[in-house]
A and B are shown apart, each in its own frame.
Chain A
């Protein structure tokens, strides 16, 4: 099978998976024994039959459930994700406003995890049981096991409140102008608008939450990379390469690290999805206006269209990232697409 056919087949399955995801989230979110009326209508209005009827009609809740689902799917196929019950604006627009902040955070956290985790893992494996190895093993254990909430608050207390190295929580200093909305990625938008100060400010705001959010994946990636590297270093071809008299750096990086990266790729893909959906807590501590806070709010107010929208987006990103990981896998190791 060629690489192109492999990708095509994987892409064709996507819509089916999405339908499955929507069905699952629809059934699950309607299984909650509560009514969005309670969460979204005021006390007095909730007791007024005319207001309740108007609410049901306005949000399409007066139709039978299967019909609501079919209508939802039909709209979704046209790219219409419905209107959010809790923000009263199209879910697509809500997501467009919240998703970039989360992607920015997740990408920054991922980049941090990669630039820290992979070299640390390699060094740890090569200098096994050295001081560096001990420190990186200890550090990654802490990174993996520390509750993000606690870590975030402690980091804020030290780096923001005490030392003043990082700016206030949030995406941007409140006293700075927000760049005009173009892509939604605030750093990019600021650069596009030529607001260098704003871009710098946004990057400064991103640093700490990205570090906190990335701490878990740094730990995971370091540990995976170390283990995988140790396996590979024991292989015959590494010994052969060394015996041929190749420089140590070349053997470690080109022969060993490249092969050791394979299993780590899967973990990277999975943790990126985790970063997206798991950012809820980090976003709350750092007042980061991303998808996590939106998802939480939608869930607590039983905002079905928004819950579905978040589900569809997170699932799509997850599926996409996995696809890309598999493709990367197939590119690195041709045996995979043959299977």
Chain B
């Protein structure tokens, strides 16, 4: 046997062994394409393309293209929900019943008409799957479909944030007939019975401007224009979303014209691309809050959890220097709500670096030597921000006022685990909005998601109890003006008594070929392919 034949045999041997277990092969067939094809390259992790399981940025982008939700946002806006499959909505006087009027004559890609039964089925499925996106509908008591064109959400408590929440690509409306035919379940036992995910990973069953034509995990998603889309045909015929993990490779391909949009660029790449005239380099602010946090359990964080020390840390940090690490486009945050959302504090209100004040606060605390440990993900670069660099910067800033910080760099998965288990002594991180509404950032409050992880229960003190109460009020307030005032009050108080130092709102560096129009980057679903055209 010579070398050539044995390699062939080896390849076949493996092929046969694996093929025996092959249930379905996927044929991603694409027509020859040119100007009608948009090629984009993020660096992606897609775990699923079934809206019921989706909660990753690129998967959300694909689902946004393939499934319409009841409401949506335009371009990069995060403030004003716009009609999509729902043409209008109204709230009952007690704030607990939301009634949506559905757009008439909308058809799914299968040709089936979209009715309130599909909406109810889709929402019930999300609620009962108990998967990643289930929390979106936690506040929903019941979904009703009184007639074909009307959907009613009965809430457990008043929750105005439900309207922006409904824009989530995970809450896109599914063709209940088609999905049920492929094993979809929306009943109480959906969590064990539903088998539709495999189908929805290779096909889509929505009313969106595009439908999924092919998906090869880890490699690429191909979308084809939906000929039945209710807003009319999209300008692009086909979208290829290809996984290109290496940022420099993305930049090279974009410069050569082999790529139309690159969203996985590093900051250096973006800087280089600025010199190429055929490319438009953007830096889009994302609805993410970067915050330094300290654990309230002194067993873990030592003297750092002392309220005076936390205040001192806030004055000791060199925010201008930190903004340089955060990169172009990043801006200060005065509170924990990103500046692009109603309810945020004016960045001019933010704490200014004042080392003398920091030292004075430490003297007031009357502690001999102040030590602590900062845990961070040593292998993570997010929004172009190198976490290890930021950790070193914080260490140096705190050393300047006499707080000695040990750095504990861990692999991302392990530091995330520690943080979620409430075992991180001190850390910084970006909390990204799941939906475009300020209430998503109340997680920092005592007793809520992040608060609990910082071992800060709602009943810690009368002050925390009151703060938690204000948070609940802000969340339920339907009047926008009153709501904004409450959210601002909550944030100011949070910084007086909470274990946080807001750092900045980051910006994502990305770029596209200058012959494209209508390309925007939305904080939740990225690029809206329907709006993109080539000139």
* Residues of A that sit less than 8 Å from B by CB: 32-35, 38-48, 50-51, 53-55, 57-58, 79-81, 84, 86-90, 92-100, 103, 107, 110, 114, 153, 156-157, 160-161, 164, 167-170, 173-178, 180-185, 284-287, 289, 293-294, 297, 300-302, 313, 316-317, 320-321, 324, 327-328, 331
Contact = CB atoms under 8 A, between A and B. Distances in A.
Given A87-B47, A168-B256, A45 B134 contact: yes
Interface string B1-40: 1010011001101110111111111111111111001010
Nearest to A300: B413
Contacts, number: 213
A152 to B, nearest CB: 9
Given A48-B130, A164-B256, A176-B30, 14 more contacts: A40-B47, A48-B135, A50-B134, A86-B45, A89-B198, A156-B249, A170-B242, A170-B244, A175-B34, A175-B37, A181-B25, A182-B25, A289-B216, A289-B243
A87 B14 CA distance: 21
Given A87-B218, A286-B249, A287-B242, A174 B1 contact: no
A287 B244 contact: yes
Interface residues of B, number: 80
5 contacts: A38-B420, A43-B449, A48-B135, A89-B201, A313-B14
B22 to A, nearest CB: 6
Contacts of B13: 320
Given A51-B130, A87-B217, A285 B412 contact: no
Given A38-B413, A174-B242, A175-B37, A97 B248 contact: no
Contact of A285 (B17, B246, B431): B246
B253 interface: yes
Nearest to A188: B11
Nearest to A182: B25
A39 B131 contact: no
A290 to B, nearest CB: 9
Contacts of A34: 411, 413-414, 416-417
B243 A42 contact: no
Contacts of A93: 21-24
A79 B27 contact: no
B252 A33 contact: no
A45 B53 CA distance: 11
Nearest to B8: A107
Interface of B: 1, 3, 6-7, 10-11, 13-15, 17-34, 37, 39, 41, 45-48, 50, 53, 55, 129-135, 191-192, 197-198, 201, 214, 216-220, 240, 242-246, 248-249, 252-253, 255-256, 258-259, 411-414, 416-417, 420, 431, 434, 449, 452
Contacts of A88: 47-48, 50, 53, 197-198, 201
Given A313-B14, A320-B13, A54 B131 contact: yes
A155 to B, nearest CB: 11
A156 B247 CA distance: 13
Contacts of A321: 10
A98 B220 CA distance: 12
B22 A92 contact: yes
B51 to A, nearest CB: 13
Given A174-B240, A181-B28, A90 B218 contact: no
A289 B219 contact: yes
Prevailing SS type, chain A contact patch: helix
B356 to A, nearest CB: 38
B258 A174 contact: yes
Contact of A42 (B7, B32, B132, B412): B132
Contacts of A153: 248-249
| Residue from A89, A176, A182, A300 having most chain B Cβ neighbours under 10 A | A89
Given A33-B417, A45-B135, A285-B246, A99 B14 contact: yes
A42 B45 CA distance: 13
Q: B17, B48, B218, B253 — which one has the most chain A CB atoms within 10 A of its CB? A: B218
B45 A297 contact: yes
Q: Quick one: which of B39, B131, B191, B413 has the most chain A CB within 10 A?
A: B413
Nearest to B130: A54
Nearest to B257: A168
Nearest 7 interchain pairs by C-beta: A168-B258, A44-B135, A289-B219, A87-B217, A54-B130, A42-B55, A92-B21
A99 B18 contact: yes
Given A287-B244, A287-B246, A317-B14, A180 B134 contact: no
Given A35-B417, A43-B449, A177-B32, A289 B258 contact: no
